[in-house]
Amino acid sequence: MGEILFQPLGEPVPSGSGLDKLADIDPRLARTHYFDGRLLTAEDLTRDQVYLDQRLRELGRVLGSGIISGLELEFDKQTGTLSLKSGLALTTAGRVLELNNTLNIDLRDSARIRTLNNGQFARLNRGLYTVVLRYVEVGTDIAEVFPKDLGAKRDFQYKMITESVQMGLIPLPIPLPQQSPLQIRAQLMRELLGDDRVHGLLPEDAMALGVIAIQDGAPQWLDAQMLRHAVRKEPEIDSLQSDLSRQYEFLLNDILVERQSGGLTGDFHASDYFSLLPPVGALPKEAIDPVNGRQGFFPENFQVAIAPIRMADVELIRAESLALPPIDLTNGEPADVVVLVPLSNLHYGHYSAQLERAYDPEKRLLPQLDLLRLKLYPTQPVHALDTDQAAWQSIWDGIGSNNLFYVRRPSRAAETAISGVVLALGMPPTAISTEEMELGVADSGGLIEDEETVFLRRVNYTMLADIRPPVDEAGQEALNAMIESFSQAAVVASSQRILLLVERQYDVLIWQTLNQLTINANLDVFLQGLIDKPAEQSTHEFVVQNAADLGLSSELRDQWNALS
């Protein structure tokens, strides 16, 4: 199927003949050599027009391509009218497209469409179409062509060629599925993101403005954000994520409007509509309940937390988050997400004091905000601090329904112990000593995860206990004590290596032993001893022989001795 063109109507004037036979490397960049006494023809003057046109297009290509301003696309489903507002764009061919007034076309007026397309496209086929604005040259006015000799006849030709733009539809090689428009649009967000195959269908002198669906010969819905983008050179990761984020925001708004019109709330699962989410975006307030520690928007295996943030930091955090990968809801992999609640400086200073953990000189350098964890199915108690619940209730009562947004948390090296937000604000980083780093006291409450948090989410005592469960009540008490007091990454890692070296026949005593070794700070000494002991020496012989040096109690030593 060819292009379906609307207005204005006209045919491009072909370039002068013979330009392709010149000896220049690029005939389009050839200029006419003027001198006195030369006979000038139409070809000579056309050559200069082509030259200037190519030079201007070279400049346009250097600037990139995309929409500079305006060109908003609207669709009235009641009348079937597609409207394009005035604006400015730059195509990949370097053409400047300028629309000075509003273009309107009734997509149900088959007679009008057929007239504008030389009798073709009396009926629009079912499918998805890209709405484009493209460059066109229109011949206007009439000029008489005088005969060159007595035998030639008088003729007529266009007097002027006017550069203009026209709106049109280009079919996409994507079938229109039998789904709701909102679900189709959400799926297209994923399929069309950075798809060079689709962009290759567009003429170089055209600019994509949106995607429209045609069914039963009539338009059904329009997504005015799909495929369009602002002026840029080559698409990079942050620009593609910016496109995804913009499309998501508009689609989410349409979803909430439709749900509200049907008597539904904004409390829904993201996967009901979306398969791909941008790394930063809005979310409905009804889907979050920090007072009761619940969230219903993200999958159950996601790590979701909520925290207040200063309004002045919002744009910076949004910009930084666009460099992160999108959130795929179909692969089943967990992601770490923080829901942020923007507050004024006054309110942030008031509520942050109530949500702040106290200064702990042994484990933490500075006081910091607790990230409140949200679950699909909350567990009790929800709040670690007495003031949390009342503070979150006050915050929740004072914010609007459109103020929340989420950000994906990336991993970062624990050595820095600082968040990207702190650096961007120009604040000096706080030094972390080697001893503090080994104890795992690096800041993990910021928007960016440290290495320890990432490790503990994958390897922890609960997971190790699933593999080597305690066999009696004494072992369970020892395990509980370690979970409560020694859940640092370095300690968990050493415990894991010991569990790999100690045979399962010693499960009856292994958790009590790990607990006493950790209390006496001899966990790594015990681990190294296991590695270095002679092969002929059994594990229980090694423990009994070195129990006093390792700080193990005489009762535990006797129990190990009894195992022989």
- Could you tell me if 542 and 549 are in contact, meaning their C-beta atoms sit under 8 angstroms apart? no
Average pLDDT estimate for 140-151: 71
Q: Residue 211 half-sphere exposure, CB side, CA atoms within 13 Å?
A: 28
In angstroms, the CA 412 to CA 238 distance is 19
Tokens coding 528:
């190294």
Per-residue pLDDT at 382 = 52
Written as one letter, the residue type at 361 is: P
Average pLDDT estimate for 174-185: 86
CA distances to 4, 108, 305, 391 from 216, rounded to whole Å, are: 17, 11, 47, 55
pLDDT in tens, 387-421: 577 878 888 888 887 788 899 887 543 333 333 33
Residues 6+ apart with CB under 8 A from 500: none
Closest CA to 347 of 357, 355, 339, 359: 355
To which H or E segment does residue 130 belong?
strand 127-145
DSSP letter for each residue of 211-261: EEEEETTEEEEEETTSS--BSBSS--HHHHHHHHHHHHHHHHHHHHHHHHH
In angstroms, the CA 76 to CA 72 distance is 13
Average pLDDT estimate for 84-110: 85
What's the chain's length in residues? Answer: 564
Other C-beta atoms closer than 10 Å to the C-beta of 151 total: 6
pLDDT in tens, 297-351: 888 888 888 888 888 888 888 888 888 888 888 888 888 888 888 888 888 777 7
Average pLDDT estimate for 145-163: 72
Q: 175 in helix, strand or coil?
A: coil
Beta strand ranges found along 448-562 (DSSP E): none
Average pLDDT estimate for 424-450: 40
pLDDT in tens, 531-551: 888 888 888 889 888 888 888
Q: Is the per-residue pLDDT at 376 higher than 60?
A: no
Per-residue pLDDT at 174 = 84
pTM: 0.62
> Percentage of the chain with pLDDT > 90?
2
pLDDT category of residue 460 using cuts at 50, 70 and 90: confident
Tokens coding 434:
């080697």
Instruction: Using DSSP bridges, classify how beta strands 336-343 and 303-310 pair: parallel, antiparallel or unpaired.
Output: parallel
Per-residue pLDDT at 200 = 73
Average pLDDT estimate for 444-450: 46
Domain ranges in the chain?
4-232, 261-410, 459-562
Written as one letter, the residue type at 236 is: E
